[in-house]
Amino acid sequence: MNKTVSEVKVLVVDDQPLIVEELCEFLQSNGYRCVPCLSSNDAIEQFAADPTIGLLLCDLHMPGLDGIALLDALKVIAGQQRTFEAIMLTGLAHKQDVIRALRAGFADYYQKPVDLKELLEGIQRQEAALQERQKNFQQLGDLNQKLQFLADSIDDLYQELEKARGLGAHRRATDLENEADNVSLPAIFEKLSPRQLEVARLVSKGKTNYQIACELGITENTVKLYVSQVLRLTHMHNRTQLALALSPGNSPLHLRVTAH
């Protein structure tokens, strides 16, 4: 009778060949594809080369890199783009070793000689946990894409609103200076966006970031970002210099903007 083959491969790692052979034979007879390894270094190479490996079954005590060091190395390879679950095997079930392994990220552990029926049940549980994590990971990625799309849409709407208010790229400087008590602008401010210029004008009036945020209906952190952008674009060092540049007759930079 044909068994359903799991899409997830199991990386089986132990420095004893007979144990690796027995575990792989058992798991394969129960529908799992296995990748046998006799060392942590071999396991690292196999894991990096095969993204379908989603379960790690490894011995804790091995020459060279032990099971915990192996798990840490695989987590680095996986990064933020890949998920996997790990089960530890150990012939010496010292409490301290178990605690270290669980803290390192092992989901479960079994003492040798392993009860194969219990191990299979554990593998199946971790496979289900992995599938749930992968589902959540995909949903998070979809959500991030939707949020990015929403942010882009809001930015587009804002630009359309600015145009509707007569603040297009070719008119914004002269239009805004008419709105601000007919005060002309230094030419250096022409490169600012309407919102950046709006924030700059409020700064020149001595308003705090909190007051500007309330007036414009944005967060205080957003105001800080705009102020930082304005200072960078105008090559000014502080808010006082910015205020002086926007004050009539108080700055040598005070040159009327040329209309395009």
**118-160: pLDDT as tens digits:** 999 999 999 998 988 877 766 665 566 666 666 656 656 666 6
Q: Does residue 258 lie within any of the structural domains? A: no
**12-32: pLDDT as tens digits:** 999 999 999 999 999 999 999
Our count of domains for the chain comes to 2
Q: Does residue 156 lie within any of the structural domains? A: no
Over residues 47-54, mean pLDDT: 94
Count of CB atoms within 10 A of residue 77's CB?
A: 13
For the record, the structure tokens of 96 come out as 């301290």
Question: Is there a single domain that holds both residue 117 and residue 167?
Answer: no
pLDDT given for residue 140 in this prediction: 62
pLDDT given for residue 163 in this prediction: 64
Of 88, 107, 141, the position where a domain reaches its end is 141
> What percent of the chain is modeled with pLDDT above 70?
75
The boundaries of the domain holding residue 113 are 9-141
Over residues 73-98, mean pLDDT: 88
Please provide residue 97's backbone torsions phi and psi, each rounded to the nearest 5 degrees: -65, -45
pTM of the model: 0.53
Q: Does residue 257 lie within any of the structural domains? A: no
Of 88, 111, 141, the position where a domain reaches its end is 141
Question: Is there a single domain that holds both residue 124 and residue 202?
Answer: no
Q: Does residue 150 lie within any of the structural domains? A: no
Question: Is there a single domain that holds both residue 203 and residue 131?
Answer: no
Question: Is there a single domain that holds both residue 183 and residue 94?
Answer: no
